[in-house]
Amino acid sequence: MMDTLGHALMDNDKLHFDTAEVLTGQEQWLVTLSAPLSAFNGDFVNAVATGKDSDVLREGIADVWSVHDRASFEQTARWLVDEGQRSAYRPLWNAVAAIDTATRETPMLLRMAMEAFFPAFFQIKARKSLDYRQLAAQSGKSTQELSALMTGSPSWVEALRKHFQVSAADVPDLVAWDAVRLASLSRWAVQLGYIERAEFAGFAGGLATKVREAYSSWSQVSAAYIAGGLIWKYSDAREEHLLRTNRMLLSDARSPYRSVPFAG
């Protein structure tokens, strides 16, 4: 309930844009990289500045990230570059992909019947990839959390395929989950004065090369970010908000996804 309430209070029914800030080409790409989280939070999607009140932003990142000055920002930025959560989440993403494969390999009539009356059927088919004890040890998730994630995964994996034209096979790595957050955290650090604007690209771009190696489009970046976000904390509300806000990045004519080339 609290998760649902928190999402309901977000101003993310549309994309938000700054009309004054001028960005370099490198800054444009990195701000666009941060867009999946910006759209979700209701921040500007085309500026280093977020559009949020700095006091609110300061309190938020101190609470969620334990970042409150330059030293704590640098420590967190290094962790995202060197480790983050992508490696721990990879086995869970592989398990989600295995369920998707099991679902798609099931004949249509049987699939429809199982989806309606026995959705756990697909987890049973993918059981070789669903050792919950091992997955819990690798990810730090409880069995209950893993069960909710796996049970809910068919709907959002199908949404990625339908709305983003991205299949599980198109997302070999969840580095976007860490890279989007790194770029976002770097924006916040600039706004709060923890780092200088001239340092933004150096910090925000710490995973840029890995992102370009892993994906070929902004759509794939969004898909990987959505997967990481739902593995991090699954709920129906998060699923709805992540899918909806990232679809806006694809559909809005003003979106940086339309104007900033991924391979640029």
Asked whether residue 131 falls in the same domain as residue 228, the answer is no
Asked whether residue 101 falls in the same domain as residue 222, the answer is no
Would you call 210 exposed, middle or buried from its count of C-beta atoms within 10 A (0-12, 13-18, 19+)?
A: middle
How many C-beta neighbours within 10 Å does residue 174 have? 25
Asked whether residue 100 falls in the same domain as residue 152, the answer is yes
At residue 170, what is the residue type?
A: D
Q: What is the pLDDT along the chain (264 residues), one digit of tens a residue?
A: 334 334 444 789 999 999 888 999 999 999 999 999 999 999 999 999 999 999 999 999 999 999 999 999 999 999 999 999 999 999 999 999 988 888 777 778 777 777 776 677 667 667 777 788 888 988 889 989 998 999 899 899 999 999 999 999 899 999 999 999 999 999 999 999 999 999 999 999 999 999 999 999 999 999 999 999 999 999 999 999 999 999 999 999 999 999 999 996
Asked whether residue 81 falls in the same domain as residue 189, the answer is yes
Would you call 24 exposed, middle or buried from its count of C-beta atoms within 10 A (0-12, 13-18, 19+)?
A: exposed
Asked whether residue 43 falls in the same domain as residue 157, the answer is no
Asked whether residue 179 falls in the same domain as residue 255, the answer is yes
Asked whether residue 81 falls in the same domain as residue 95, the answer is no
Q: What angle do CA 81, 139, 34 make, to 5 degrees?
A: 35
The 10s digit of each residue's pLDDT in 212-231 is: 999 999 999 999 999 999 99
Say how many CA atoms lie within 13 Å of 39 toward its Cβ: 28
Asked whether residue 163 falls in the same domain as residue 34, the answer is no
Q: Is the pTM of this model over 0.95?
A: no
Q: Which domain holds residue 106?
A: 87-170
Q: At which of 125, 145, 170 does a domain end?
A: 170
The 10s digit of each residue's pLDDT in 25-83 is: 999 999 999 999 999 999 999 999 999 999 999 999 999 999 999 999 999 999 999 99
187 in a domain, yes or no?
yes
Q: At which of 141, 170, 199 does a domain end?
A: 170
Total structural domains in the chain? 2
